[in-house]
Structures are given as structure tokens and as C-alpha cells.
Structure 1
Amino acid sequence: MHSRFSTLLWLEELNAERELQEFTIRGALLRKGASYLHLEVVGLAEGRPNLNIGDKVSLKKLQSDGLEMEYIGYVVEINGEDVGLRVNSGFHSSYLGEPLDVEFSLNRLTMRRCHQALELTKHFHEILFPTRVVPQTPQWTEPWMDESPTTESGNESSASVDMKSKATQTKAAVGKQTAKPLPIKGQFFNTDLNPRQREAVKRILEGECRPVPYVLFGPPGTGKTITIIEAILQVYHFLPSSRVLVCTPSNSAADLICIRLHYSGFLHAASLARVNASCREKEAIPEVLQPYSRAGEDLRHAAFHRIVVSTCSSAAMFYNVGLQVGHFTHMFLDEAGQATEPESLIPISLISEMDGQIVLAGDPCQLGPIVKSKQAAAFGLGVSLLERLMANPLYAKHDWGYNPKLVTKLIYNYRSHEALLALPSKLFYMGELCFKAQRDIVDSLCQWKGLPKKGFPLLFHGVRGEEMRECSNPSWFNPTEAVQVMMYCSELATKLYNPVPLSDIGVIAPYRKQCEKIRLLLSKRGLSDIKVGSVEEFQGQEFLVIVLSTVRSGKLAEVADAQNSLGFLDNPKRFNVAVTRSKALLIVVGDPHILIRNPCFRALLQYCLNNGAYKGCDPPQ
């Protein structure tokens, strides 16, 4: 494992360096600001190039004597395609707008941390490649007092289901903090958890199979984060010697965990620390998390909080303060499917390989880690630890189901209308997802006049548009589709009876240029508050309405997508994320004659045709 992943990391790094060299800008004209020089980088929003705060940039200028002067700048701001560079004050004041050659440098910090984690986990073979489960003495032996009459068979009244989905199971369930009486041992903090969620919490608390990782398999809208919050609270309150490290691949996911813990009302403020990377701007940290972030600034002090939240990469900072392995007793890795395996090993290396408890929460059927090197991806760097373990016989599904000591699969979906749930459930989740969403929300657009079939809130609008590019810009756009998307958004947002709030509409498009064109059209209609972005920007989020523009329309569409690793056509996981974000209405705008070549879109097209939910151009025969 060590030599394999070490090689793959070098391949990814070499690819990243080569890619950055290709994005060298000749004769760039920088804009002078009060504090920084500002550089426009076309394609930045699509990760071409991929820049982060703190990255080094070389600015080269040819002198009159033929010598080349090189100045070093550092990325301090990124706003869309505008990059703010901090440079030497003398150079900043003397710069008069002359053209410069701009070369980007690779920030190796996360890569170095991954290499270090590989070294530290060389002896973790029983954790990373488990072949058997040796039961340990449970950490929890108290009886459970399940207060809710909820049963797996689903014999609940619809009123109780509605109440639960509204109160506890959606992304919007973040509200005012209240001080609440603590439950006694054996009771749940959140009494509205369903049977699968309760089962997961019990297994995590018992920790019977530690140090072998426990997997919480959470398909879209099934309340995975709610379950993790409950498990963290149980461990914190009822395993008094525990110290919990919670990690995610991204800052936004780590912030969400922190906010949920804050608003649970069951934590003392001094128990939680949010550790941020030193390059993270204070303004980027949500205001409610500022006190916890201050607590996380002194790493040695932060490490002795009972609950520490950080990104996977930032967890490596604990190596620098000399923490003993096993300092943290529990490690929760949320959104585990989005981290490369070496990235996952950074926090895992802080856990005792003898007695530590590792919980991996995520969905191997949604978007995995972003890997740019085709060679590294081909040899497995794009496969997360979660996905690899789920293919291990110990974690795989058998005729009788999953081993309950190692895997709990959540199946109750609290997000989407059953018509929107049926296809992804069949394609990705063995048809096991059960509809439990709040009826008045998911039915709210079933009678919308734009639906070909009332009561079936799904629409495939076939458009034979034309894909285009502007000059040398590699990003595609489709004007016909952009106009159609704008018309649907306008129709929904301005309808006479119960117009849809702009914040409840999301538009997904696979190309930055298409997003740009759609935003422009929406702003002209006064609809600029509608979120428009790539599918990656929507993972983990939910909207009442999702409008999906697939853009590609032409013979070369599939070839180009495969080459650029963009778009929907080559990635079933991207398709799965895109079609599972909506609660009450999904509109797909695209060329059916191109999309039919892809198995997932072919299934969607057939599903819509079978249910009378297709309109637009003649469908393919």
C-alpha cells in the first residue's frame, strides 16, 4: 500500500505541475488594488488551473537590458476568476500596469501530509485491509430505552413522519440554539431518529469491532449527518474518557458539522474546537463558529478539547505538536467518499491501531475524490478508502444483508418526492430507498402547469441546441438550453399562486461558461439570487427545484467530455448527485440524441417517456 500510494501521489503531483505550466499566462495585465495586485485567470472556476489561498505565483518581467526580473506573489483572495496577489510592497507601488509573464507554482502541503500519513500507517494493516473481525469488549453495555414506537416496517402515521422530516432530517434543520435537559444513559438526544439511524448510533457507541472501521452508508437525503451528530453527542456525554476527532475533506462540510453541534444545545462551548488552516481567511469562517475557531488556533490547547473538528489535511498539524498516537479515541470521517485514501489516512494515523474507533460516513455511489492524473486514477487514487472497504468481503452486501457490526445502510429518504427517488434508488441503491419526506413540501409543485403529467414532478425537455466555445476558452455553452433554463426559472419564480422563492431553485450545469450565460440571463430577469453551479458545488445540498442543463449537443460531445473529465456523460456518480438534489421538482434540459448514449441518461429518458414526462424535440427512436 505504502509504495503504491506513494507512487500514485507522485504521479498526481507531476501531473499537477505539468498542468500548471500549461496555464502560464504570457503578457498578463494586472490590475492594481489598494492592497493587492489582481489577476484575471480564465477557467479558474472549473479548476483550470486549480489555485488555493497561499499558493505561490511567479511574475516575470523582461528588463531593457535583456535580463529577466522575477517577483514572487502569493494568492490571498479568489473571487470567481479574479485572483488577489500579495507582492513585495516596493514592487506593488512601482507597478504601472506593464505586461508580465505569470507562472503558477504547486502548493505541495497536502501532498506532503499524505506521504507522511502513509509512513505513519505502515503498521495499520488490520485496519486498512481487514480479513476478520475480532470482537472487543464493548465500550457501552447499558440498556437502551427506545422511546419512539417507530418500527422498521414503517407502521407510522404519516403525521409523525412529516413531523420528523421537518424537524430533524433536512439540511435546513439548523436553527436557534437552546439549552436542553440532558437525556439519561440509554436515551437518544434526538428522539426522532429512525430505526436504522438508531442502530448505527448503538453500534458506534459499543465499538465492538474497533479498530476495524465502521461504515455508515448514507445515500442522498437519508439523514447521515443527523446520525453522526447523535453519535458524537452520545460518545461525548456517555464515554467520559473519550476524545473525538471529526474530519471532512472540505471546510464547508466541517463547518456544517460544527454548526449542527453548536445548535444541538447539548454541548458546553468549551468542549468544541474548530481547527482551521492558517491560510483560511477569517471572513470565510461562519460567524457562529468564530469562538470555536479561536479555541482551535493554539493547536496544543485545541487537542485537549473533547471534540475537535477539522479538514483531513489540517489534522496533520497535530503531528507538529507531538501528540501521542491514540490521543483521540474516536475518529469520525464524514463525506469519506470524497477523500483520497492517503488523505483519509491523515486523521486515521492519529488513532490507536489497537483500540481506536474509526467511523467512515458517506456514500460510495456519489462523487469521489478529484484526481487529475489519468495514470493515478487508473491505478486507484480516485477510489476512496470508503469505496475500497465496501468492496471488501467483510463489508460487502450478502443475501442476508450487510454485517450489522460493520455497516449500517440508511434507507429512509427525507428529501425527495417518490417519483424523483425511484430511478436513483433502482440504479444505485438496489431499490431499497424508502420515501419518508414531508408530503406537503414534496407535493407542492405536483400541479404546476409546466408539467406534462400532473402529479409526476419530473420533466425531461428535449432540446436540439448547438454547443459553442468562445475563442480559445475550453468551456462549452449552449445558448438554446440557457434560454430554456431561464424561462423555466422565471415561470416558477413569478407564478401567481405560491411563487417559488429564488433561494429554493438551483441550476446545475457542467461547464463554467454555461453557468455564466445562465447567470447573465437570470440577472436580466431579476433572478440573480438563484444558485447556478457545477454538480460538485451542489453535492451535499438540497433545493425545492433543480433545473439541469446538460449542454452537450453534437457528435464530438462524448469524446471531449472523456478527455476533459468534465460534464455528466462519463460519470454515473455525477449523474447520481445531480438528480438527487431536488425535493419537489426536477427539470432536465438536454439533447436526448446525445444523452441516450449514456446508460444513466438513457434510463432517465426511458423513465420520463414511460410516465408521460417528456416534452420538446422528437425523442430518439
Structure 2
Amino acid sequence: MQYVVKSNSPKNFRASKPLPAEFIASSSSNAGPGPSEIEDPKEVGKGGTQRYEIPKNIEEMIKNDIVPPVLKMPLSPDTYADYFAALLYAEDFYCEKWSDYLLEDVVLKLREKKSPGLQDQSDKKKSKKGSNSKTQKNYPFVAFEINKVNQRRPFLLSRDHVHLRPVGKGIDFEPFHGVLFRVERGTILAEFKDDFYNQHKPSKRYDVSFSFNRVCLKRAHRAVSAAASPLLSKILFPNITSLPTQGGKVSPMDQILNHKLAPIPYLIVYKGLPPSFTVTSLIKNIVLKIYESCKESRILICAPKNSICDDFVRLIMEKVCESDIFRANAAFREKEEVPDDIMPACIFRRECFTCPPLDELQHFRIITSTFVSTFRLYNAGLKAGHFSHIFLLDASSAIEPETIVALVDLVSEETVVVVTGSVQDRPKWVRSDIGRNHGLKESFFERLRMSEPYWSDNPLLITDI
């Protein structure tokens, strides 16, 4: 096996035509930074297709390992958009830098998902649904080795794309497209569709290339470019000259129910990973109390991972009228990945998940979504101020630009924003050195927690569990 990086080589390939939506293989909702989402044609028209190309001057700096000057300046409302745009450009450049990486003459192995430690949540859920249809076949992982030296290979993430072309096939041969599940001690585990397994033989060898899932980056670019508004500045940089006085001890639930400082975020801080039963129960009880006590409330619950959103829907479904809750999924999330018991809260039509018409969408009292997929709610017509409460769950594990996707279009002066996170958690999925060393490893949750208004642990702003 050879590791090759060649520019403009005919062997370098990804796809000779746009990747079809159906090539996305089922992938764990627990592994990776965001949803399996391909652009929905209906999302064109509100910024969904803008490419956010790297400016030439920024590209030259990053190419030559020069830190853009804005990243040496203090983060402030004036520098925020340019600061995070530069960090996201560093991530973009990393993807472009490794886009010509090629593995030649690779031997593939098939590894059963039932092996200890390898069966992910989506497999467990699928096993309960039977295997009558082709989409429900429990195909094994495709496994192959990659260079263990990080500097000699791309930093790959769950849901990046893997492309296989049999050795000897010309450039006109459309490669097999799959999705990376995870990298395990120098071994790639990927998932493919029927067309690959139907033709594969143990003796076959393949040339392998990769491409990177940029949906999350595009949403993040759009969010930071819109974050310069005075309203967003109040949330991103809380500046409180004086706090209201209160008598006696007040519970976090009462603080959120009667939050007088909106839209300044209220922080729920916890230790340990994952969140303890106490933390989960507190947030569930707060949401249910808002739902029961205020009939006009509209609540958005969002998190970085599908699994967190799914679990929260399951927690509250018994207490909430089925017609009041909607689980918003990325358009082309695998149906088999979604737990059976929360499917009544989802809308699946014409082979993809969708949002209902605006008049129906506005009716839902509680909506859950990943941070990045909240863009679909705005694109469906929901306006700033529709939600009375926005909960950003597990925000300590996501990069700030992705976290604020849920805020830029949907928050208003009256919206109560609640941010939860662990002091022992940080964003894990940052590819570039500039991103890791200059701000993307610090979450929105952590930055707020370390800012002046929250230093004093004032119960009007923060609770520590």
C-alpha cells in the first residue's frame, strides 16, 4: 500500500458528478460532530448555498503557517465575525490541503459490527426493526489501514466521505461512495451501500480517496457572519452594569422560569461526562414546567449530537402531547438510525426527513434539533422571537460557531437562552493547528463561564450542579 499526495493527478478522485443523497450510509448518531446532511434543494434562497471561499490573503497566510492578524487581537463584538471566520477558513484550508491525499493498492477487510465494542447505537436500534428491506441490511464495516503518523495523513472525522475505485479502473469509473464511521488506532472503519458489497471480493484491491463534509462549516460561516448585530452582541458578550436584587435562595428552575435578564444566557454547569441523572432530570423538569405552566411558550431544545436530541425526546414524550412535539432531523439522516419510539415526533416523506408547512411548524410547543440543523427551522419560515426559550444542551462539546447557529436567526430580546455544559469537556473535532491553538477548542459555554458576569457565580446567571 502506498500513501500518495499528488496535485492534478488523474488517480486522485472523489466523484465525477455530485454525490447522490442516497450514498450516505447509516452512521452512528453518537460518533461525530454533527448530522449527516446533504443540501436540501428546498433550502436554496436563504444563504444555504453560499460557498464562503477563503479570501486569497487569508489563504496565503494559512498556507505559510502565518497566523492571521485578527487572531492576535482580543475577541470582541468588533472582531468577532472576522476572528471566527479566520478560524473556519483554517479548517477549510485543511480540507483543501488534504483533498489530493490518495491511498493506492489498498487491501480491504470486512469487520462485523457485532464485534465487541463496535456495535453502535444505530445498529442496536436497527436490530429491533428487522431486516426485510435492503436499507436495513447489517453490512459489515469496511476496514483498511492508514498512516498512523498524524502529520502524514488527513485528520479525518466521522461522516467524512470515503471513495473506493478498484485498481485498474479508469477515471471514467464512478467510485463507490461511503461514509467514515471512525478511525481506530490507524485503521479506518467505513460504511458503504449495496453496490459496493455486491461486487466486492477479498482479492480485490482499491485506490482510496477522501472528501470532507462541509455542511457544518458552511452553517458555521453563515452564523458568524450574522453575529455582528447588537442583539447577538448582548448574548455573545454579556455586559451587565447592575444585577437585580433577590431575597433568599431561588432554585435554577425558578430562575429560568422568571429570568429577568433575557436574552443574556443562563448557564447550567456540571462536572463529569456524560451528564449525570441529576443534570438530565433537572433540565427535563425545567422544560416540562415551562410547557405546563405557560401555554404560550415555544421551546427549542438543541444539542451537538443526534443521540442527545433523541434521548431528550424520549425523556419527555410521556409527559407531552404527541401533537406538541417535533423532532427536526437533517434531511438525509438515515431513517433506520432514528429510534422507533421517537419516530412519531418526526416527519419522513419521500425518502427524507422534512419540516412541515409553516402553519403546522408554528403549532409545535417543543422542537428538538442539532445545532447545525436548526437552520432548517429558519429556512422553513420561523422568525426571531418565535421561541420563548432556547436550550443549548451539552454546549461544552461543540465549537462556538456551530453552537450559535441556533441563535442567529431565532433569538429575540425576550428569548430566554439556557446554555449547559461540563467543565471537563471541550470540542474534540478541530482539524487545523490554527483552529486548535487559537480559539476553536474553547466552546461558547466555556468562554461565557470564564467571562466577567459569570465569575461571581451569581445565581441570577449561573448554577453549578
Q: Same fold (TM over 0.5)?
A: yes
- Segment drifting more, 237-246 vs 363-372: 363-372
Pick which of 304-313 and 282-291 moved more.
282-291
Residues 95 and 260 of structure 1: is their aligned pair in 2 closer, same or farther, counting only changes over 3 Å? closer
Report the equivalent of 1:317: 376
The answer as to 2:85 corresponding to 1:6 is yes
**DSSP-derived class of the 2:419 partner:** strand
Deviation at 1:391, TM superposition (A): 1.4
Question: Where does structure 1 lack aligned partners over 5 or more consecutive residues?
Answer: 137-151, 153-194, 411-621
Question: 3-state DSSP class of the match of 2:174?
Answer: strand
How far the C-alpha of 1:62 sits from its partner, in A, is 6.3
Give a deviation string over 1:108-164, Cα, whole Å, max 9, x none.
00000001111232211111111116779xxxxxxxxxxxxxxx9xxxxxxxxxxxx
What do the CA deviations read for 1:21-45 (whole angstroms, capped 9, x no partner)? 55x3211245799888963234699
Q: How far is the alpha carbon of 1:203 from its aligned partner?
A: 0.7
1:298 equivalenced with 2:352 (yes/no): no
Q: Does 1:203 align with 2:244?
A: no
Larger RCO (alpha carbons 8 Å, 6+ apart): 2
1:126 to 228, 234, 240: 234
- 2:105 corresponding residue in structure 1: 27
The residue type paired with residue 205 of structure 1 is L
Structure 1 residues 107 and 293, CA gap change in structure 2 (3 angstroms):
same
Kindly state the Cα deviation for residue 408 of structure 1 after the two structures are TM-superposed: 1.1
Q: Which residue of 2 aligns with 1:364?
A: 423
The separation in 2 between residues aligned to 1:70 and 1:239, in whole angstroms, is 59
Q: Which moved more, 1:303-312 or 1:32-41?
A: 32-41
User: Is the contact between residue 31 and residue 37 of structure 1 (CA under 8 Å) also seen in structure 2?
Assistant: no
Q: Does 1:341 align with 2:400?
A: yes
Say whether 1:111 aligns with 2:164.
Answer: no
Quote the Cα distance in structure 2 between the aligned partners of 1:320 and 1:351. 11
Matches within 5 A, 1:437-456: none
Instruction: Call closer, same or farther: CA 1:367–1:302 in 2, change over 3 Å.
Output: same
Tell whether the 8 Å contact from 1:341 to 1:385 is kept in structure 2 after alignment: yes
- Superposition TM-score, scaled by structure 2 size: 0.64
- Distance of 1:313 and 1:126 partners within structure 2: 21
CA distance 1:332–1:108, shift in 2 (3 Å): same
Deviation, structure 1 residue 385: 0.8
User: Post-superposition shift, 1:334?
Assistant: 0.9
2:395–2:445 CA contact under 8 A, matched in 1: yes
CA gap of 1:213–1:32, structure 2 versus 1, over 3 A, is closer
* 1:195-222: CA deviation from partner (whole Å, max 9, x where unpaired): 8xx7111011112110111111122347
| Distance (whole Å) between structure 1 residues aligned to residue 450 and residue 175 of structure 2 | 46
TM-score by length of 1: 0.49
Identity within the alignment, %: 26
Question: Does residue 239 of the first structure (1) align with residue 294 of the second (2)?
Answer: yes
The residue that corresponds to 2:54 in the other structure is: none
For 2:175 and 2:380, the matched residues in 1 are separated by 30
**CA pair 387-309 structure 1, distance change in 2 beyond 3 A:** same
Contact 1:60 / 1:69 at 8 angstroms: preserved in 2?
no
Partner of 1:216: 268
- What one-letter code is carried by the residue in structure 1 that aligns with 2:190? V
Kindly indicate whether residue 459 of structure 2 is the aligned counterpart of residue 407 of structure 1: no
1:323-472 alignment runs, 5 A limit: 323-397=382-456, 402-410=457-465
Unaligned runs of 5+ residues in structure 2 are 1-79, 112-133
Q: Secondary structure at the match of 1:408?
A: strand
List per-residue Cα deviations over 1:293-346 (Å, max 9, x = no partner): 238733444453111111111112223213212222211011111111101111
Q: Which residue of 2 aligns with 1:253?
A: 308
Distance 2:255 2:459 in 1: 8
Distance 1:200 1:127 in 2: 19
Alignment of 1:70-85 (within 5 A): 70-75=173-178, 78=181, 81-85=188-192
In the other structure, the counterpart of 1:99 is: 205
Distance in 2 of aligned mates of 1:219 and 1:278: 34
Residue 41 of structure 1: SS of its match in structure 2? strand
8 Å Cα contact 1:247-1:254 kept in structure 2: yes
What amino acid maps onto 1:343 in structure 2? E
Q: 1:545 — aligned with what?
A: none
Residues 566-581 of structure 1 correspond to what in structure 2 (within 5 A)? none
Structure 1 pair 303/99, CA: closer, same or farther in 2 (3 Å)? farther
Distance (whole Å) between structure 1 residues aligned to residue 264 and residue 436 of structure 2:
26
After superposition, the Cα gap between the structure-2 partners of 1:133 and 1:233, relative to the gap in structure 1 and judged at 3 Å, is farther
Over 3 Å counting, the alpha-carbon distance change for 1:283 and 1:58 in structure 2 is closer
User: In 2, Cα distance between the equivalents of 1:135 and 1:405?
Assistant: 8
Whether the 8 Å contact between 1:369 and 1:384 is mirrored in structure 2 is: no
For the pair 1:59 / 2:164, whether they are aligned, the reply is: yes
Structure 1 vs Structure 2 CA RMSD: 3.6
Paired position in structure 1 for 2:366: 307
Pair 14,203 (structure 1): closer, same or farther in 2 beyond 3 Å: same
Q: Does structure 2 retain, via aligned residues, the 8 Å contact 1:340–1:383?
A: yes
Distance (Å, rounded) in 2 between the aligned partners of 1:326 and 1:135: 24
Cα 1:42–1:307 change in 2 (3 A) is farther
CA distance in 2, matches of 1:205, 1:38: 47
Is the CA contact (8 Å cut-off) linking 1:113 and 1:316 kept in structure 2? yes
Distance 1:378 1:273, change over 3 A: same
The secondary structure found in structure 1 opposite 2:292 is helix
CA distance in 2: counterparts of 1:43 and 1:407, whole angstroms: 45
Equivalenced residue count is: 341
Q: CA deviation at 1:82?
A: 4.0
SS in 1 for 2:455: coil
1-structure distance, mates of 2:315, 2:454: 29
SS of 2:87's equivalent in the other structure is: helix
For 1:569, the equivalent position in structure 2 comes to none
Structure 1 residues 302 and 76: CA distance shift in structure 2, 3 A: farther
Query: Residues 352 and 280 (structure 1 numbering): CA distance in 2 closer, same or farther, change over 3 Å?
Result: closer
Which residue identity is paired with 1:311? T
SS at match of 1:395: helix
Q: Call closer, same or farther: CA 1:9–1:77 in 2, change over 3 Å.
A: closer
- Matched-pair contact (CA < 8 Å) for 1:276–1:293: yes
